[in-house]
Structure 1
Amino acid sequence: MTGNTRTDIFLRTLAMLGLVALLGGCGEVTGQYKKGSQIMEPDMTLWQTIDAVVQQIPFTKAKLKNLLMTQLVEKDTSRVAIPNTAFQLYGGGPVKLADDVVISNVDLRIRHRAGHPGFLVLQIDGDCIDLDAVRQHYSNLKVTDRPRGISPEEATSYTAVLHWGKLSFSFKERNPNCVSSVAFAPELNEAGSAER
């Protein structure tokens, strides 16, 4: 009987260790993102993401990479006819948010000049966010861009002027009822203004 008890204890211990190892490994898979998947899943809605992004001003690659849980890769502009000397350009995504909104592309632009806060555009897909939903969060919107009838990719943009700069929501002609992008244009800080 003692042999069975020791064997039972040994087997139970092995089973518990296996369970602990299994659960420990699952944390990586079911935590903030799914291992092996390209879609990261921060536990934030679009509106929470916007608020969190604003807290990252001035923008850096590292801050936004950590917040959005996506790799930001420097874009190769060497084949462009007019070389870009003003900005470092980074792209990343997709990022699936908690409200079934997907940031399909992260477009970060950081000026080479010191003191510039950067510029960020988040391309939006997934569940439709309409203008009424935007107005529930930002009531003081002004139309800052309109389509000119050239392409269905042109957009109507609605901009809120906030204490940190401008936040714009664009609605492309091909799907005019849903937000297609959110742009963050922070104002220059005092040091940046003085360097002009």
Structure 2
Amino acid sequence: MLALSLGVTPACSEGSKKMHTTVQLSLWQLIDQLGAHQPIRREPVEHLLHTTLARTESSNEYFTFWSNGDGVPIALDDGTRIERIVLRTSNEGDARGALTLTLSGRCIRRDDVKGRFAGMRIAGAPSGRSPNEETTFRSETAWGELVFGFAERNPDCLSSVGFGEKTK
């Protein structure tokens, strides 16, 4: 399990009655922590983000999907907010997980991401049907793959981060 003591505090957004959790990590620290705890599994993600993930109706015989269905955002130390968490785990023995975090809050610029992950390559482009469609970039790491998404509605600001395990 995670050998990390997290400062986690419940808080209420200004002008909002909706509670959120604050995790005392920046987005970059969170990426490092999630990468250090492979394989990607529900319990470590819940512990690290101080949330509970619920099984979704999208689950099937091959994969189980988990989400923070309560819609309570998670605020990070650097002003980034995690609006949605989607975790996919395999129902087969050599289970590989995948995790996607949908972000809001401060703008993390494309150049900032490229500065940290120099080997990024374009992986996907929007079709033009929705301002929420993303241009995606992939970056290989020692533990797997990161996918960074930049939505058309704000193409220079990071809107999602995906985590995939290294294939065997």
TM-score by length of 1: 0.73
What amino acid is aligned across from residue 94 of structure 2 in structure 1?
Answer: G
Q: What's 1:150 paired with?
A: 129
Structure 1 residues not aligned, in runs of 5+: 1-30, 78-82, 190-196
* Conserved? CA contact 1:74–1:90, under 8 Å: yes
What does 1:96-135 align with in structure 2 at a 5 Å threshold? 96-135=75-114
Runs of 4+ in 1 over 3 A off after TM superposition: 35-38
SS of aligned partner of 1:40: strand
* Conserved? CA contact 1:57–1:117, under 8 Å: no
SS of aligned partner of 2:107: coil
Structure number with the bigger relative contact order (C-alpha 8 A, sep ≥ 6) is 2
What amino acid is aligned across from residue 105 of structure 2 in structure 1?
Answer: G
Distance 1:174 1:142, change over 3 A: same
d(CA) in 2 for partners of 1:183 and 1:68? 15
Q: What's 1:74 paired with?
A: 55
* Conserved? CA contact 2:11–2:22, under 8 Å: no
SS of aligned partner of 1:39: strand
Higher strand proportion (structure 1 or 2): 2
SS of aligned partner of 1:123: strand
170-179 or 36-45: bigger deviation = 36-45
Deviations 1:134-154 (A, max 9, x none): 012111110000112222221
Distance 1:123 1:35, change over 3 A: closer
Give the C-alpha shift of residue 127 in structure 1: 0.4
* Conserved? CA contact 1:116–1:188, under 8 Å: no
d(CA) in 1 for partners of 2:99 and 2:27? 15
Higher helix proportion (structure 1 or 2): 1
Deviations 1:2-38 (A, max 9, x none): xxxxxxxxxxxxxxxxxxxxxxxxxxxxx52127874
d(CA) in 2 for partners of 1:63 and 1:114? 19
Structure 2 residues not aligned, in runs of 5+: 1-6, 13-17
SS of aligned partner of 2:21: coil
d(CA) in 2 for partners of 1:188 and 1:116? 11
1:33 aligns with 2:9: yes
d(CA) in 2 for partners of 1:113 and 1:104? 29
TM-score by length of 2: 0.85
Identity of aligned residues (%): 31
SS of aligned partner of 1:135: helix
Say which of 152, 155, 160 aligns to 1:176: 155
The structure with the larger Rg is 1
SS of aligned partner of 2:158: coil
* Conserved? CA contact 2:131–2:151, under 8 Å: yes
